[in-house]
Amino acid sequence: MATVLVNVPARARRGEIIEIKTLISHPMETGYRRSELGVPIPRDIIRKFVCTYNGTDVFSAELHPAIAANPFIVFTTIAIESGTLAFHWTGDNGFSATESATITVE
């Protein structure tokens, strides 16, 4: 199970632009490397990241082999209403991780 760190402001004013930071532990093995014995190391990367805000997609990203290990993704959205931000990472070998955070908008 991957370790995840997300940073969402606990409260915000309605209409305010909020910054969201996410960090997840993942090797992001490119698939282009070989082991010391010359055997190709199979690709193992996160393919997609999605953030939903009360069920609506507000941000998504496709990840590729050139992205470093432990991807750190920062993005902004507009605080519309109180609720839950859900984060979902999916990738090779059935990788899946979810995390959520609540925000109070006043």
Q: Which residues bind other proteins (CB under 8 A)?
A: 3, 5-7, 21, 23-25, 27-28, 68-70, 72, 74
Q: Is the CB of residue 43 less than 8 Å from the CB of residue 101? A: no
Kindly tell me which of 7 and 60 has the beta carbon lying closer to other proteins. Answer: 7
Q: What is the CA radius of gyration of the chain?
A: 16
> From the CB of 98, what's the least distance to other proteins, in Å?
16
Kindly tell me which of 72 and 84 has the beta carbon lying closer to other proteins. Answer: 72
- Spatial separation of the C-alpha atoms in residues 62 and 83, rounded to whole Å: 25
Which pair of tokens denotes residue 13? 């004013």
Helix (H, G, I), strand (E, B) or coil at 90: strand
Kindly tell me which of 79 and 97 has the beta carbon lying closer to other proteins. Answer: 97
> From the CB of 5, what's the least distance to other proteins, in Å?
5
